[in-house]
Amino acid sequence: MAVKPALSEVLSTSPLAIMERHAEACLDCVHRLAPYFESVQSENWRRAEEVQQEIARLEALADDIKLDVRKNLPRGLWMSVSRPDLLELVRVQDKMANETKDIAGLSLGRQLKFPTKLEKSVFKFIATVTDASEKAVEVVSATRELSRTAFSSRQVKAISAKCVLVERIERKSDEMQSKLRAKLRTHEQDLSPIDAIFLYQLLSNIGEIADHAEKVSHRAQIIAAS
């Protein structure tokens, strides 16, 4: 039977493979955001709780990978990628999962749903944020592939182009959030003041996921260019 290499050995020989695995675990959390709010908007709180627990489980998995990386990442000069750069990458990736968990926890704790007339715009917003996250993880994956081919200049340029795309999607999410906040303001009279405050907070938190995704792509780009 083949013996699996120790994590420290894997990290020293292919550190970006572990970063990619962590990024994918964080993305799994983000992918649960739309199903979660589908349950919320239909007031299926039992199903919403199930999805929230799934998000929490996936976030814990991402945390486990992050802790393993921090514990086992070698300090030697013979690593193919800078240790501080890898630690920063795993930190910003983790924020995507953490933010998703916080959003679901806040919404479920108060059983908060958006006004029905905002639903279509909210789901488009979530789809855009998810798209930013997916594209950011693609940058991480491309950086891993690049490390196998001695970081060729043409591939570095391709990664830069992917980062520009993430930036564009993030700006789009900012614009969508601004429009949603304006729409929400017209419904304030139908909401309790506390619920209105928390709905604005939810919009901000959802937008933060795209911000984190942009930072992930930038950090991966730094590694690719180093």
Burial of 173 (0-12, 13-18, 19+ CB in 10 A): buried
Beta strand extents in 36-151 (DSSP E only): none
pLDDT of residue 1: 41
pLDDT of residue 74: 72
Taking the CA atoms of residue 118, residue 119, residue 123 and residue 128 in that order, the dihedral angle to the nearest 10 degrees is -10
Side-chain half-sphere of 134: how many Cα atoms within 13 Å? 9
Global pTM exceeds 0.85: yes
Q: What span, in angstroms and rounded, lies between the C-alpha atoms of 179 and 184?
A: 9
Say which CATH superfamily domain 10-225 falls into: Phosphate transport system protein phou homolog 2; domain 2 (1.20.58.220)
Per-domain residue ranges of the chain: 10-225
Side-chain half-sphere of 166: how many Cα atoms within 13 Å? 29
Burial of 4 (0-12, 13-18, 19+ CB in 10 A): exposed
pLDDT of residue 148: 63
pLDDT of residue 80: 64
Q: Taking Cα atoms as reference points, which of 207, 147, 205 lies closest to residue 172?
A: 207
pLDDT of residue 72: 80
pLDDT of residue 21: 93
Which residues does 21 contact at the CB level (< 8 Å), separation at least 6?
Answer: 65
Q: What span, in angstroms and rounded, lies between the C-alpha atoms of 133 and 93?
A: 9
pLDDT of residue 161: 93
- Going from the first residue of the chain to its last (226 residues), give the mean pLDDT of each consecutive group of 10, the final group possibly shorter: 43 72 97 98 98 98 92 66 88 98 97 97 99 97 75 78 97 99 97 97 98 97 85
pLDDT of residue 16: 82
Q: What span, in angstroms and rounded, lies between the C-alpha atoms of 223 and 226?
A: 5
